[in-house]
Structure 1
Amino acid sequence: MVGLTGQSGGTDFGLMLLKDDGANNVSIVGTSDVVGNGDETIVALTEPGNYYWYMVPYATDGTPINFAAAVNNQIDAYEVNDTPAKATVLPEKFNTIVGNSDSTIDHDYYQFTAVRGQDVVVELNGIASGTSNRWITKISGNGINWDILQNDIYSNIGGLQQNQLLYVRVRPNPTATWSAAAQYQLYFGSKPTTGSHSVSGENNLIRIPFSVF
C-alpha cells in the first residue's frame, strides 16, 4: 500500500504508483485521485521490482505533505494470481497447494487442464483444525460463471472434454475472521486411480513340494 496524507486545505494532489521493469519501460500500477485534500491511497499486490510515486499537484499552498508505503510480506508462493488471467497454472497431476489470503480482498485463482478429459478432484481444508470456514471455494469452466464448492468435501468433476480448462477460486469468507497467517490446503488436479492386481502361475503346471527333496 502507498499513501499520501496530511494535505492542507489549500493543497490537492493526485497519486499514481508506477513500475519500472528495469529497461526504462514504466507502467501504471494504480491511481488515487480523491477530490480536494483527502488522503490518497493505493493498494496493490506487487511483484519484485522498482516502483515510484508520481504525485500530480492540482493545487498547493506550500505546506508539507506526507507519503509512505506499507508492505505485506505474508503472501504465499503462488502470487500474483488474483485474476483468472493471472491464475496459477497447475501441471497435469494431482496437485497439493498450501496458500493463504494476504488481505480481506485477496482472490486466489488456479487453473488446471484436463488434457485427457479425465475426472478432476477438488477439496479445500483449513490447515488448522476448524478453520475451513475462513474461505469460500468456487469452480468455473470459463473464469466467468462460478459454482460454489463445499469445503472439507472431496468433489469429483467428471464428464469433461479433452483439454477442458477448469478454474478454482479461493477467497476470504467475509463473515469469518480474517488472518494473513491462516493457511489453506487445496487439492486440485487429476483424480488419483486405485486398483488391485493378482498374479497366478501357468495353467496345467504340477507343483512339486519342497518336502520331496
Structure 2
Amino acid sequence: MDTFYRHILIIALAFTGLGMNPISAIADPTPPATDQNETSPQIVELPDKLNTIIDSLTHDSDVKYYSFTAIRGQRVLINQIDPANAPWLIEYKDGDIWKTKYGDEAYTTPNLDVGKQIQLRVSRKPQHSIPENSRYEILFGSAPRLSDHQVTGDAEQFTPYFGKHRAYRTLDWQTQVVDYKGHPLEGVRVTLELNINQDSNSSYIASQGTSNKSGFIRTSLSLPACHGSKATDPFWIWQHGFRTKWQLTYNPGNWFMYPNSHEKGGVGSKNGEKVSFVHICTQRIIR
C-alpha cells in the first residue's frame, strides 16, 4: 500500500475510533445566531406603588417593557407626562392583545383580580424620529385617590356664621392618598386649586404637596389681601369668655383637590363640582 492510501486509512480509523463524523468535525464551531423575535423581552418589574418611569430608547428599533402587579386587586394607572408631539408609542397588554394608550388623559383600569399583572411597552412611533437625549416620563402603578381631606383657615371663630371652609390670611389643608383598596401611597403629588373670588372670575391659586410613607400631606397656603365684595350683617359670637359683635367683608370662592396624575380620584373638579369657600377680607369689632 503506498504512502497516500496509508494516510487516508489512518485518518478514517482515527475518526471512527473517536466516534466522530468527519463532516461535522470540520464544520464551523460557531452556533447559528438566534432570531431576536424568538427571545423573551427583558421586562422591568416595578414595585407596589405609583411609579414614575424616566427612561429612553437607545435606538429607533429599541423596545422597553415594564410590568406591574396589582397585588391587592387595585386599579392600575398609566399616564404619559407631556405627550404632545412625543415620539413614544405607549401600549399596554389587555389579555393577549396590545392596546395603544392615546392622548394626554390617564388610563385607569377597573379593580383587578388579586395578583393581576399589567404590562407596558414603549417603542418609537412610526414615521417619528427620536430627538437626541430625549427621555419619556410615564406614571405606571397603583391608581391614587384621596380618602380624607380637611381644609381649614385662620378664622375658626367665624365657623358658626360661614361654615368650615373659610380663611383670612392662611389656609391649611391636608389629605391622605391611597389606592382603590385603601392602601397608602407614597410619593404622589397632590394639588389644591383655590379661587378666592369667583364673582370676578379670578384665576386659581395652586398649592401642592407630596404624600409621605403613610400617604399623608399637610401643608399651608398664604392668601393675599383682598377687597370684599360682600358684607355680613353685624353678628354676635362668644370668644375668650366674652360676647362680641362683629362685621366682616368677604368674597365667595371655591376649591377642588386632586392627585396630579388622576383628577378623577380627587375632590371636586375644575369643570364639575367644586367645594364652596369664603375668603374673609376685613374683620371689624362693632362697639
In the other structure, the counterpart of 1:185 is 137
Q: What TM-score do the two structures reach when normalised by structure 1?
A: 0.51
Q: 1:135 aligns with which of 88, 105, 114?
A: 88
Deviation at 1:152, TM superposition (A): 2.2
Structure 2 CA distance for partners of 1:15 and 1:155, relative to 1, 3 Å: farther
Distance in 1, Cα, partners of 2:70 & 2:92: 14
Q: Is the CA contact 1:107–1:171 (under 8 Å) kept in the aligned structure 2? A: yes
Give the match for residue 248 of structure 2.
Answer: none
| CA positional deviation for 1:198 | 5.5
Aligned pairs for 1:1-213 within 5 A: 31=33, 83-84=40-41, 86-126=42-82, 130-132=84-86, 134-141=87-94, 144-197=96-149, 209-212=239-242
User: Number of residues paired by the alignment?
Assistant: 132
Q: What's the CA shift string for 1:106-144, capped at 9, x where partnerless?
A: 111000000111111101235xx8442x011111145x4
Does the CA-based 8 Å contact 2:79-2:107 persist in structure 1?
Answer: yes
Q: Contact conserved, 1:122 with 1:155, CA < 8 A, in 2?
A: yes
Cα offset for 1:197?
4.0
Structure 1 gap segments, 5+ residues each: 1-13, 17-27, 33-41, 45-81, 200-207
Structure 1 residues 149 and 83: alpha-carbon distance in aligned structure 2, compared to 1, 3 A threshold:
farther
Provide runs of 4+ in structure 1 moved above 2 Å. Answer: 195-199
Identity percentage of aligned residues = 24
CA–CA distance in structure 1, aligned partners of residues 101 and 145 of structure 2: 22
Larger RCO (alpha carbons 8 Å, 6+ apart): 1
Structure holding more helix per residue = 2
Aligned-pair distance for 1:172? 0.5
Alpha-carbon offset, residue 15 of structure 1:
11
The TM-score normalised by the length of structure 2 is: 0.39
Q: Is the 8 A contact 1:139 1:168 kept in 2?
A: yes
Larger Rg over CA atoms: 2
SS of structure 1 residue aligned to 2:241: helix
Structure 2: stretches of 5+ with no match in the other structure: 1-27, 152-237, 243-287
Deviation at 1:83, TM superposition (A): 5.0
Mapped to 2, the partners of 1:106 and 1:194 lie a distance apart of 37
Paired with 1:135 and 1:183, the residues of 2 have a C-alpha distance of: 9
| Maintained 8 Å contact 2:60/2:129 | no
Cα 1:173–1:83, aligned 2, differ >3 Å: closer, same or farther?
A: farther
The AA in structure 2 aligned to 1:184 is Y
Structure 2 letter corresponding to 1:157: T
